[in-house]
Structure 1
Amino acid sequence: MRPAIRAARAEDLTALAALDSLCFGSEAWSTVAWTTEFERLSEDRVILVADVGDVVGYVVLLVPPVSLDVVELLRIAVTPAERRTGIAGQLMTAALSKCAGRTVLLEVAAGNDAAVALYGAFGFEEISRRRGYYAGGEDAVIMRWREEL
């Protein structure tokens, strides 16, 4: 069953925080951080969720109001039981549709092969690295996407 991709609602907050904790462990955003993200929905945040009756994935974008400013893909996650089912691709497609004519940047751990492959499949290209950025000395890869006009 393909999930519905929809805008996050206030009642999704608890499920998103729990999914974030499951997927990112000690690097997860706190409930306070998630609350702040929801408070900014009308300003510059877009949060989309994959819903199959329960939230099974999400993507968070920082979309500045000035169209010349860069969009940042802040977070994307899919519950482990639903990985490799195309949900991340659905979320990416929906997220990038919100970025017409804009440049999108993201940061990913160099060793996260699945994420790097996903982003590459959507046309993201590595533009730089932050050496030793993550705990344990892993590099952060900065990737950029530009819509083909």
Structure 2
Amino acid sequence: MVIEADISHIKQIAEIEKENFQKPWSYNLIYGEYKNQHSRIYVFLNKNQVAGYIIYRCIFDEVELLDISVKKDFRRCGIADNLIDFLIEQSKNCNIFLEVRQDNDSAINLYEKKGFRKIGLRKDYYSRGIDGFVMKLYVQGVQDVKNESGCCARAAGNQ
């Protein structure tokens, strides 16, 4: 079951971070996202235990997936799949962006299965010699256009 995280979940999220990442987010960083008015944290609960979580930020008409992880004991059970589906459902009318380690094949495969496409590469994004792909899920009816300043702006409909 996916529910919005409350303060009692932050410690469990931080523990999963430590379990899964060489450079995990700290409790304080997760708490900062919890308090950020633009960020959302949802957890997948299994018997009142956090089995996985997703952290994303909504700014105007864009969504950025910041962090997603599943506790090792619950991997290969479809939890990450469910969390991505939940994110897509919550992000209607918004394209979704993320960065993923270039060598994280399982995550890349999941994102591509969900419709994300590689749109760029960030050199040394994770650390020296470890690049990150920028990926984007294009939502039907929302397209990027260039505005007068040359920056990407968003427009709905076909043009």
Q: Which has the higher contact order (CA 8 A, sep 6+)?
A: 1
- In the alignment of these two chains, the number of paired residues is 140
* Residue 23 (structure 1) shift: 1.1
> 2:2 maps to what in 1?
5
Contact 1:45 1:60 in 2 (8 A): yes
2:80 and 2:14 map into 1 onto residues whose CA distance is: 18
Residue 132 of structure 2 aligns to which amino acid in structure 1? A
Kept after mapping to 2: 8 A contact 1:108/1:141 = yes
Partner residue in 1 for 2:20: 23
Deviation at 1:133, TM superposition (A): 2.7
AA in 2 matched with 1:94: F
Q: Report which of the two structures shows the higher radius of gyration computed on alpha carbons.
A: 2
Distance across 1 between alignment mates of 2:115 and 2:9: 30
Unaligned runs of 5+ in 1: none
The two structures have a TM-score, normalised by structure 2, of: 0.84
C-alpha separation between the residues in 2 aligned to 1:103 and 1:36? 24
- List structure 1 segments (4+ residues) > 6 angstroms apart after TM superposition: none
- Once residues 133 and 94 of structure 1 are traced to their aligned partners in structure 2, the CA distance between those partners, rounded to angstroms, is 27
Deviations 1:20-46 (A, max 9, x none): 111113x11111111111112xx1111
Identity %: 29
**Larger strand share, 1 or 2:** 2
Over residues 55-99 of structure 1, what are the superposed CA-to-partner deviations in whole Å (9 max), with x where a residue is unaligned?
A: 0100001011x23xx210000000112111111000000111111
* 1:62–1:73 contact (8 Å) kept in structure 2: yes
Q: Which residue number in structure 1 is paired with residue 50 of structure 2?
A: 55
